């Protein structure tokens, strides 16, 4: 299916999300912070990124800003426990394709990824 980069500082949540995506037929690469996530984005060119917002080092908002400044157009799905409307609005303004609340259900996560990947192909 697709190569998906999961950027999440919690190893528990990273494993949970990764296992859901693997069951959905996707290949997974993982990063525990935004800095490593940026490196993997450059090295591996994933089809989609699932991004946590609150992480040490480079947080999700800063990474999303950096990706957009570099001209990256790949879909980014924010997966966060931060449900503040201002945060969600900021992410959407920065081009996030979707926002999913933690912990995501398998159905919600797979449907969201499917939609943003399809949207990316339709626009590409």
Where are the extended beta strands (E) located within the chain? 3-7, 27-31, 48-51, 76-80, 98-101
Please state the domain extents for the chain. Answer: 3-123
Helix (H, G, I), strand (E, B) or coil at 90: helix
Give the CATH superfamily of 3-123: Response regulator (3.40.50.2300)
pLDDT string in tens for the chain (124-residue length): 899 999 999 999 999 999 999 999 999 999 999 999 999 999 999 999 999 999 998 999 999 999 999 999 999 999 998 778 898 899 999 999 999 999 999 999 999 999 999 986 665 4
Structure-derived torsion over alpha carbons of residues 18, 21, 22, 23, reported in degrees to the nearest 10: 130
């Amino acid at each position: 299916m697709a190569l998906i980069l999961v950027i999440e500082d919690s190893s528990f949540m990273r494993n949970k999300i990764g296992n859901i995506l693997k069951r959905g037929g996707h290949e997974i690469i993982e990063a525990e912070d935004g800095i490593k996530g940026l490196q993997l984005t450059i090295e591996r060119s994933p089809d989609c990124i699932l991004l946590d917002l609150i992480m040490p080092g480079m947080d999700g908002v800063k990474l999303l800003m950096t990706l957009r400044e570099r001209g990256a157009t790949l879909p980014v799905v924010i997966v966060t426990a931060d449900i503040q409307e201002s945060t969600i609005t900021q992410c959407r303004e920065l081009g996030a394709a979707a926002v999913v609340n933690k912990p995501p259900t398998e159905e919600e996560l797979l449907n969201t990824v499917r939609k943003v990947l399809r949207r990316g192909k339709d626009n590409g």
